[in-house]
Structure 1
């Protein structure tokens, strides 16, 4: 009797589930975008932020007006000869004293970014100069340099030396500046 009841219950359940199925009108799709998504090409152009949408004020790909990158500190001197001279006269390092750990870090950063041209001792005899790939790298002993001038050149670059503002943070540039002045005092 129990088995007959179980069979009847299963048969009734099967009939009720399949009776709602209609091949001419399929059932509802929850989250249809997931089942029938639009395939976009990876680097294809999008109209999401162009033309009509831009007129409506949808400019999500641009930073907010007046925003400043996190951790960025404003450098007051412009990228010009006048800015270089002002920085040379007025700009001072914000680092009061450098610990031994920071001095080691400064030496490593100098070895990575500067020594290839300026040499390990700052004498202008780096690997690229020795191999005559570039010419005319000055020794630190021959130049009148200050905290501000070295930092300005690291930030903006000068002559054939490019800017290191993208590779080094402001704190790291001040560390390298201090290390350059240490090398100059030894020459």
Structure 2
């Protein structure tokens, strides 16, 4: 009989503690902001920013981490300056020819051909015409880097696909192909 009283007492105590519990609004919250966050509308106005309409802008003159500014402008004058003055910051030990060949094959060979002769698959299928042979052009490592960075004529920029170091690798490989033609 005593065990029955203990079980009954346990049921009464448990029902007292759980009777006042409401899942939608718990009594005690350790960090209430974690349970009831403030939701914002996507692209909506917010008082969290200074002007209430757009997000925080980067500080004037700031440069993203890991980014090195390219000081030549996207113009014919910038191209000529890069051709005359720009030199690779990579030393001969840091040039990885197998990696450079791989990058060239992925991004350049489809138009310029595996040998740099201007006879890639897209040219053979007449999707693009007038892709130059590297042998016919007066190019330098700086001019190749400039063209890969900004693009020229029908060729678009590859600055989003290739890092600065990879663009220098490709420029070195293009000059290697030019010397073999």
How would you bin the TM-score normalised by the shorter chain? 0.7 to 0.9
User: Does the alignment pair 1:80 with 2:75?
Assistant: yes
Equivalent in the alignment of 1:65:
60
Mark the runs of 5 or more structure 1 residues left unpaired by the alignment.
none
Structure-1-length-normalised TM-score: 0.79
Structure 1 pair 39–166 and aligned structure 2 pair: CA distance change class (3 A): closer
User: Does the alignment pair 1:130 with 2:142?
Assistant: no
Deviation at 1:77, TM superposition (A): 0.8
Among 109, 113, 137, the alignment partner of 1:119 is: 113
Structure-2-length-normalised TM-score: 0.81
User: Does the alignment pair 1:158 with 2:171?
Assistant: no
Equivalent in the alignment of 1:171:
165
Equivalent in the alignment of 2:133:
139
User: Does the alignment pair 1:92 with 2:87?
Assistant: yes
Structure 1 pair 98–185 and aligned structure 2 pair: CA distance change class (3 A): farther
Secondary structure of the corresponding residue to residue 132 of structure 2? coil
Task: Give the CA RMSD over aligned residues.
Answer: 3.2
Mark the runs of 5 or more structure 2 residues left unpaired by the alignment.
none
Equivalent in the alignment of 2:17:
17
Secondary structure of the corresponding residue to residue 89 of structure 1? helix
Equivalent in the alignment of 2:44:
46
What is the aligned length?
177
Deviation at 1:160, TM superposition (A): 0.8
Deviation at 1:53, TM superposition (A): 4.7
Distance 2:109 2:15 in 1: 82
What do residues 28-69 of structure 1 show as CA deviations (whole Å, max 9, x unaligned)? 4744874798696xxx542227xx954369733x33333212
Distance 2:54 2:124 in 1: 55
